[in-house]
Structure 1
Amino acid sequence: MTLFSKNPQSRLKMIGKKGRSFIAAGVIASAIGLGAVGSIAMLPSPAHAQSSEKISPEMIAKIENYLANITTLKAEFVQISSDGGAAEGDLYMERPGKMRFEYNPPAQILLVSTGHDFIYYDKEINAPTYFDIDETPAGIILAENISLTDKVNVVDFRQTAETIRVELVRKSDPGAGSVTLVFQEKPMQLRQWNVTDPTGIETTVTLFNTEEGMTLDPELFKFERVWPKRGS
């Protein structure tokens, strides 16, 4: 049995009254991670475990080349937080610069990168929030020129018979949290990422039924705020 099942037996559902607040915090944590979350408060930096293995230049190049060669990707995802929240939905990605997280109902959340802006949108209150994509883990994956050494440092690397795990922190603010990318090696495929914020809360996004190289509708990566009709 592999670590990542392609057909999970059951789907996670929103957890009680924590649902909406978890989605809001979890979406931002899982997508923003390196940088923005660290501005919440002056908190002690999490301790990063030293690598049990040293990542080789060849492995860095292998990961960079794999990510750079992704043109499009779609997958189902499950998001779990160490504080007890869970959600699910669909992910769409088109490199460079474009990504969409569509959360399943009852969540009223959309996360979309248009190629210019990275937007967290709460449909229920019609409130978009804009972020700099370069300050997000998504920025690492969506960059036109993929690099695991330019703006980030590898602080932990672990390889098993099935997976490759690479933990990264941003060079400009290593105390702002970390993101761990998890790949299936044979064949090489992005399967999961884990964001740890400065408080130690972990948000894990796991991908299922991943497909790559298909044509995606350009409308997926557009954002238009929906205004209520006058008089309604």
Structure 2
Amino acid sequence: FSSVKSMSGEFVQFGPKGEQTGGKFFLERPGKIRFNYDGSSNFRVISDGKSVVILNKKLNTSDLYPLSKTPLKLLLDDRIDLSGGRVKAVKEEDDLTTIKLS
């Protein structure tokens, strides 16, 4: 992962009760990512390299968090280190990488 500086693709996100949502993501390392959720989801998640903002279009609200306090920091660092305690499993397939975080 550390050699990849930019990428885009599709993502699937699973909630704690098995609910599923997804969309498209755009990544530029270090620090920048955008998640555009599909369908009826009203969310967009954006990181500018310092902060992560979660936009709720339906409620017209935004929540701001320091990037360093989020799991996204693991993937957006200049050098990715998946050996930390937050990563529970990494599974690589031909066209899919799954990372399970605690």
State the TM bucket, normalised to the shorter chain: 0.7 to 0.9
Which residue matches 1:77? 11
More strand as a share of residues:
2
- Which of 139, 146, 153 pairs up with 2:80? 146
> Is residue 134 from structure 1 mapped to residue 53 from structure 2 by the alignment?
no
- Where relative contact order (Cα < 8 A, 6+ residues apart) is larger, the structure is 1
Distance 1:95 1:76, change over 3 A: same
Aligned equivalents of 1:181 and 1:95: distance in 2? Answer: 22
Shift of 1:190: 6.4
Which residue matches 1:86? 20
After superposition, what is the alpha-carbon deviation per residue over 1:134-169, rounded to whole angstroms, capped at 9, x for unaligned?
122210111123334xxxxx4xxxxxxxxxxxxx42
Which residue identity does 2:98 align to in structure 1? Q
Aligned sequence identity (%): 26
Distance 1:180 1:102, change over 3 A: farther
- Which of 82, 99, 102 pairs up with 1:193? 99
**What stretches of structure 1 of length at least 5 have no aligned partner?**
1-66, 149-153, 155-167, 170-177, 197-232
Q: Number of residue pairs matched?
A: 102
After superposition, what is the alpha-carbon deviation per residue over 1:171-198, rounded to whole angstroms, capped at 9, x for unaligned?
xxxxxxx33352427x7x76112233xx
Distance 1:99 1:70, change over 3 A: same
- Which of 77, 92, 98 pairs up with 1:184? 92
Q: TM-score, normalised by structure 2?
A: 0.83
Which residue identity does 1:109 align to in structure 2? F
- Which of 103, 106, 110 pairs up with 2:37? 103
More helix as a share of residues:
1
C-alpha contact 1:181 1:190 (8 A) present in aligned 2 = no
Please tell me the root mean square deviation across aligned C-alpha atoms, in Å: 2.2
C-alpha contact 2:67 2:73 (8 A) present in aligned 1 = yes
C-alpha contact 1:137 1:179 (8 A) present in aligned 2 = no
C-alpha contact 2:50 2:68 (8 A) present in aligned 1 = no
SS of structure 2 residue aligned to 1:131: strand
**What stretches of structure 2 of length at least 5 have no aligned partner?**
none
Runs of 4+ in structure 1 off by over 6 angstroms are none
Which residue identity does 1:95 align to in structure 2? R
SS of structure 2 residue aligned to 1:75: strand
Which residue identity does 2:90 align to in structure 1? V
